[in-house]
Amino acid sequence: MSRHPALSSPGRHRARRGPVGTAVRVLAHSPVLAAGVLVTVAVTAAAFDTTWQPVVGASALEFRLAALSAPAAPPAPAMVSSGVGAAAGLQDPLPLDSGAPAAGVRPTRLVIPAIDVDVDLVSLQRDTAGVLLPPADLDSAGWYTASAVPGAVGPAVLAGHVDDTETAGVFSRLHELQPGDAIAVALSDGSFREYRADRAIDVAKEDFPTEQVYGPTPNSQLRLITCNGPYDYGVMHYSNNLVVFAEPVD
């Protein structure tokens, strides 16, 4: 996840439970283990010729001191190890932080500095025949609501017009994008997700590469879709779609 400097929100902080905290937690759940720690601490204290001696029934603070004094608090017997990188005992797994936006967060704005795009995003749906409907407005780009939210695993699909019959549209310069060009999407939670253009395909609509564009991805990716020539004056539409694929900036 990346955040646009101008729109950054305070970084999330995660309370890190260090070995001491873990030790105290484990001790709180395990009188036997606690006794073991006390014994070990006593030995350790003796080894360092200190006068401080923990006693059975020591307070939580003393447990904390004990854990601090002992270089490596012994874990439960089944978990005895060489100690390389060992924790004080079993830990709770950290909650998964996938970097994905929270449920309900939506993309709101698209910024592509290289081609002077900075537009609000509308929502796009399919029609009854299953065809993705473009934005009603020539100047708008839209996010397909059944695609991934930028930042979540999967392809986030954005589409915009290249033009209408009279004027240029929001994606009229999409073909100018170069691999590496920055693309940022603002989300309704205030964060920005950043991507870099990776490749583009110019493909006949009838041969639209559905799997490439809409198929599964192992990370958060972006697809920008617009029309491209040749223009078929018979049906008043461009024959091709230009699809830009963008990779996340980690």
Identity of the residue, 109 or 214, whose beta carbon is nearer to other proteins in the bound complex: 214
Find the binder of other proteins among 112, 155, 193, 222 (CB under 8 A): 155
User: CA–CA separation, 107 vs 101, rounded Å?
Assistant: 10
User: CA–CA separation, 155 vs 8, rounded Å?
Assistant: 23
59 binds other proteins (CB under 8 A): no
Is residue 153 within 8 A of residue 217, CB to CB? The reply is yes
* Binders of other proteins in range 186-205 (CB under 8 A): 196, 198-205
Write the binding mask 19 to 48 for other proteins: x where contact by CB under 8 A, - elsewhere.
x--x--xx--x-------------------
- Least distance (Å) between residue 200 CB and other proteins: 5
Backbone φ, ψ for residue 36 (5° rounding): -60, -45
DSSP letter (8 states) at residue 14 = -
* Binders of other proteins in range 77-136 (CB under 8 A): 78-99, 126, 129-132, 134
- Least distance (Å) between residue 140 CB and other proteins: 11
User: CA–CA separation, 161 vs 141, rounded Å?
Assistant: 7
Find the binder of other proteins among 8, 50, 123, 178 (CB under 8 A): 178
- Least distance (Å) between residue 75 CB and other proteins: 5
Find the binder of other proteins among 20, 105, 111, 153 (CB under 8 A): 153
CA distances 42 to 36, 45, 68, Å, are 10, 5, 13
- Least distance (Å) between residue 51 CB and other proteins: 28
User: CA–CA separation, 74 vs 87, rounded Å?
Assistant: 9
- Least distance (Å) between residue 3 CB and other proteins: 11
Q: Per the structure block, which two tokens stand in for 137?
A: 């407005």
Amino acid at the residue 157: V
User: CA–CA separation, 186 vs 129, rounded Å?
Assistant: 30
Amino acid at the residue 15: A
* Residues whose CB falls within 8 Å of the CB of residue 202, separated by 6 or more in sequence, listed in order: 175, 228, 240, 241, 242
214 binds other proteins (CB under 8 A): yes
The stretch near other proteins (CB under 8 A) out of 16-24, 33-41, 45-53, 104-112 is: 16-24
179 binds other proteins (CB under 8 A): yes
Under DSSP, is residue 247 helix (H, G, I), strand (E, B) or coil? strand
User: CA–CA separation, 171 vs 163, rounded Å?
Assistant: 8
Find the binder of other proteins among 6, 47, 51, 206 (CB under 8 A): 206
163 binds other proteins (CB under 8 A): yes
- Least distance (Å) between residue 126 CB and other proteins: 5
71 binds other proteins (CB under 8 A): no
237 binds other proteins (CB under 8 A): yes
